[in-house]
Amino acid sequence: MTESNQDAQPASSRAPTAAELDEAARLLEAGQLVAFPTETVYGLGADAENPQAVARIFAAKGRPSNHPIIVHVVDGADISYWVRDIPEAARKLIDAFWPGPLTLILKRADHVPADVAGGQDSIGLRCPSHPVAQALLSRFKRGRGGIAAPSANKFGQVSPTTAQHVRDEFGDSVFVLEGDGVEVGIESTIVDLSRLDRGVGPVLLRPGAITPAMMADVLGVAPLPPDAAAPRASGTLKAHYAPRTPLYLRHAGELPAAMADLPADARVAWVAAAPVPDPRCTWIPAPHDAPSYARELYRLLRRLDRQGFARLYLEPLPGTAEWAGVRDRLNRAAAAFDGT
């Protein structure tokens, strides 16, 4: 995926100063919103224990109030403050993968406001590995707070992986911390451990960089697929992560029929391993490995949205386990347009 100069990492991107981090922590403690980088995507943060601040997230994103928000905690945090109990499976996964792109769903402690959990009795916790996120968390309430933070974009649309993406969404209405190193590029893996006492789980609610095989190596058992009684979790609606330009997953041989209704002068983007002979298709070479594809996906979709294409066609991804996270994001993006 070749990026234009506009989409390369901005020259202004840099590590925030201590004063900027202090200001971000002060704003969070005052009930305001702050956007900050994690190793997955940029988050739109608020004090997880302040219902009015959490409500600002829902309002800014246009997010349904019953859609839970993941709470981010500092490395080494005592998560017993947030949950009723910490099962052994959770301790093992924390030891293996925190800080990192893994969210654990556990039973929410009674004193933690239900607003952040979408009204449920469970809560999602994550410890991000990005140094800016950790620096902010260590300052916020002197490291004893939690930052509720979904992706810093309008609900259902493409997640941001740069500070400029956040500014494109919210302008000057949100304080944004700069930060290089969004290494993963798609949202965290989410695993439900809230029902172990009932003999259910672990259950994989959203795939990501931490794969079922990696968790099985730690737990001795692979997480189960989602079931009808699973808790609601971030980013698991059928249609999500969608650009403004209609996006479809098609094989090369399906393109002539898919494009039959388009005007002769229409331009479409074709993201795939190889080009096609149709002159209307602008070919964007796709990375050959899942981590690279995930890192570049959201930035690519935002760039293509600005280029006047009538449609975006992306070649379906391999069905292997290593591709599950990015394949999940593309399937949900396409579902916003054709229900696939």
Question: Residue ranges for the binding site for ATP?
Answer: 63, 151, 159, 206, 241
Q: Cis peptide leading into 99, omega within 30 of 0? A: yes
- CB count in 10 Å sphere of residue 67: 18
Question: Residue ranges for the binding site for L-threonine?
Answer: 40, 72, 126, 149, 188
What is the token pair recorded at 81? 């403050």
What is the token pair recorded at 152? 């810093």
Q: How far apart are CA 116 and CA 108, in angstroms?
A: 10
Question: Residue ranges for the binding site?
Answer: 40, 63, 72, 126, 149, 151, 159, 188, 206, 241
- CB count in 10 Å sphere of residue 225: 10
Helix (H, G, I), strand (E, B) or coil at 338: helix
Report residue 169 CA to chain centroid gap. Answer: 15
DSSP label at residue 187: P
Position 129, amino acid: S
Q: How far apart are CA 29 and CA 172, in angstroms?
A: 19
H-helix or E-strand spanning residue 36? strand 34-37
List, in order, residues 6 or more apart from 172 with CB less than 8 Å away. none
* Residue whose token pair is 């990015």: 326
Position 340, amino acid: T
Phi/psi of residue 103, nearest 5 degrees: -105, 130
List, in order, residues 6 or more apart from 2 with CB less than 8 Å away. 284, 285
H-helix or E-strand spanning residue 72? strand 71-72
In angstroms, the Cα distances linking 56 to 42, 53, 63, 64, 201 are 17, 5, 10, 12, 33
Residues found in the chain: 340
Q: Cis peptide leading into 150, omega within 30 of 0? A: no
